[in-house]
Structure 1
Amino acid sequence: MILVAAALAMAPVWVGRFEGAGEPPPPWRIVRMSRRVRPTSYRIVDNAVEANADNSMALLARPIAVDLAATPILCWRWRIDAPVATADMARRGGDDYAARVYVAFDMPDSAISAGTRRRLALARTLFGRNVPDAALNYVWDNRHPVGTHRKSVYTSRAELIVQETGTANAGRWTPERADVAADFARAFGGKPGTPIQLALATDTDNTHGKARALFADLHFVGRNERCA
């Protein structure tokens, strides 16, 4: 019985398994950060999410409940046609990515300074509750080395992590594995956080171009477990 319970505890936690074709089903939903920006389009094709951006930005998001102590590793596959050639994560006018996987967190008030809480409250008056306490963004960049970590040019509450870069793997499915618990601890000084949302995105609203990506098989596993 103990062995069975342990095996079940380490079973993959699926958060993005897609079937068939058509509109992404609930609990997935389109999240627009600005009504002034055209939304990226998302649809299910060949058991994957296809994202098409044309001078556009929107997230395809869903709520999640994941115990990072048990399953801290996020696994997924993605594919891009090409990176956003004119992107530059160091400036607002270049903050675009052919593909990104985004994990949003709630944090206790004790882990956030009073000044940060005020800034988050202000941001939520502009953008609503879609602004999380903190976020990790795993991105397919165009120039920075894999493993690069830096804060978003828009907010210190979002950490950008270069998971893939350049054209070497463009045009083919590429499997990924990220230690979300360790990355969150590094980005936010070891303070506690609870993952509440997973999102996918392809965005070109800053560089005014086009990009296409596919995402599939998103799930969490134990640190010593293989991706499913």
Structure 2
Amino acid sequence: MGIGLSSSAPKEADLVVGNFRAGSLKGWKEKSFKNTTVYKLVKGDKEMVLMADSNDSASGLYREITVDLAKKPCLTWSWKVDRVLEGLDETTKSGDDFPVRVYVIFSGGVFFWKTRALNYVWSNGLPKGSAWKNAHTMSSINISVQSGLEKVGQWTQQTRNVRRDFKRFFGSDVKQADAVAIMTDTDNSGSRAIAFYGDISFSSKC
């Protein structure tokens, strides 16, 4: 399997959250839900990327970082998958598996029940542009930014205006994000998926 290149090289003024091309996982911590997805930095053609190998597992990496969305609302990242997980109803708990996810988390502070999350996913079957409440928690919205087989095996770059998405799906404005997470999970389908993540950053322009 050719790893190839990610294409989301951050600009100097960007807030870099995931600096994988530099071979760094500084600041990232692991959270496991069932078994352990293996995350490791691997060498692409010209740069390092983060590989995720999930085998009947659900664990992710997260980084707590304050993001001023008034100044840098635009999230950019790249990813690549080796397959999609066909035949799942992604709107249900039993079908809540994705080969790649990128979360943006908004802390409720001491009011933990007010914590919200936007969960950008490569959907297995739902069309690109679909959005639905996560089956496990009403405080997280799944947003399909890539779907189906068309781009499997290819690097794709994604950019989202996070502040705009929050207002659209939660109905209020937000000026700060508090963490970013990634996850490749296959625990509900009991299957395996291998995926790759490029650098993750926030910028002023989408």
Q: Provide TM-score, normalisation by structure 1.
A: 0.78
Aligned equivalents of 2:151, 2:28: Cα separation in 1: 27
1:91 aligns with 2:92: yes
Letter in 1 for 2:93: R
Quote the residue 1:152 is aligned against: 134
Alignment of 1:26-45 (within 5 A): 26-33=26-33, 37-45=34-42
Alignment of 1:1-228 (within 5 A): 11-19=13-21, 25-33=25-33, 37-46=34-43, 47-107=48-108, 120=113, 133-192=115-174, 194-223=176-205
Structure with larger Rg: 1
Is the contact made by 1:103 and 1:135 (CA closer than 8 Å) also made in structure 2? yes
Letter in 1 for 2:30: I
Deviation readout 1:11-40 (Å, 9 max, x if unpaired): 21111111466xx6331111113xxx2111
The secondary structure found in structure 1 opposite 2:27 is coil
Is the contact made by 2:120 and 2:144 (CA closer than 8 Å) also made in structure 1? yes
Deviation readout 1:162-190 (Å, 9 max, x if unpaired): 01000100101111111111111112111
Q: 1:108 to 1:62 in 2, by over 3 A?
A: closer
The secondary structure found in structure 2 opposite 1:93 is helix
Q: Which has the higher strand share?
A: 2
The secondary structure found in structure 1 opposite 2:66 is coil
Instruction: State the percentage of identical aligned residues.
Output: 33
The secondary structure found in structure 2 opposite 1:15 is strand
Aligned equivalents of 1:26, 1:54: Cα separation in 2: 25
Aligned equivalents of 1:192, 1:108: Cα separation in 2: 14
Q: Provide TM-score, normalisation by structure 2.
A: 0.86
Aligned equivalents of 2:135, 2:190: Cα separation in 1: 18
Aligned equivalents of 1:27, 1:221: Cα separation in 2: 19
Q: 1:65 to 1:108 in 2, by over 3 A?
A: closer
Aligned equivalents of 2:175, 2:31: Cα separation in 1: 22
Return 5+ residue gaps in structure 2 as ranges.
1-11
How big is the alpha-carbon RMSD for the aligned residues of Structure 1 and Structure 2?
Answer: 2.0
Deviation readout 1:48-90 (Å, 9 max, x if unpaired): 1100100000111111111101110100110000111133211
Is the contact made by 2:68 and 2:175 (CA closer than 8 Å) also made in structure 1? no
- Alpha-carbon deviation of 1:193? 5.9
Quote the residue 1:123 is aligned against: none
Q: May I ask how many residue pairs the two structures share in their alignment?
A: 191
Where do 4+ consecutive residues of structure 1 move more than 3 Å? none
The secondary structure found in structure 2 opposite 1:145 is coil
Q: Which has the higher helix share?
A: 1
Return 5+ residue gaps in structure 1 as ranges.
1-9, 121-131
